């Protein structure tokens, strides 16, 4: 159910729920939106989000550092910031490795 560009969308997730479970399209879409909303709210509170068998969304605080403009070579300070990373579970890594 992935589009031609190889991207899984909210609509694709809702359609999969509709087909697999038999929920209405509206209910399926609402469930997808609620799950994503809960994930976003948890992350915005500084909590990590772990989905067993899939992976973990982890917030990391990166300190200030000195970067370099690749065009001019001039050093530029990079401000501290919070970044979101994803770590795939071992099960997901095995699935991905075996599908190639």
In CATH, what number does 48-100 get? 4.10.520.10
Nearest to 25 by CA among 44, 12, 7: 12
- The structure's pTM equals 0.76
Determine the pLDDT at residue 98. Answer: 87
Domain boundaries, the chain: 1-45, 48-100
Q: Which residues contact 96 (CB under 8 A, 6 or more apart)?
A: 88
Determine the pLDDT at residue 100. Answer: 65
User: In this structure, what token pair is assigned to residue 44?
Assistant: 């915005």
Mean pLDDT for the chain overall: 92
Answer yes or no: is pLDDT of 3 > 80. no
Answer yes or no: is pLDDT of 31 > 70. yes
- Give the pLDDT confidence of 73-92 residue by residue, as tens digits: 999 999 999 999 999 999 99
Answer yes or no: is pLDDT of 16 > 70. yes
At which residue do the structure tokens 């899939």 appear?
54
Answer yes or no: is pLDDT of 99 > 80. no
Determine the pLDDT at residue 92. Answer: 94
């Amino acid at each position: 159910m992935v589009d031609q560009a190889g991207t899984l969308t909210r609509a694709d997730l809702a359609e999969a729920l509709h087909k697999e479970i038999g929920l209405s399209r509206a209910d399926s879409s609402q469930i997808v939106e609620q799950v994503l909303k809960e994930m976003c709210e948890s992350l915005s509170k500084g909590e990590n989000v772990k989905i067993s068998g899939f992976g973990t969304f982890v917030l990391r605080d990166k300190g200030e550092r000195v970067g370099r403009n690749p065009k001019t070579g001039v050093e530029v300070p990079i401000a501290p910031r919070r970044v979101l990373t994803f770590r795939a579970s071992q099960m997901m890594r095995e699935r991905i490795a075996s599908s190639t």
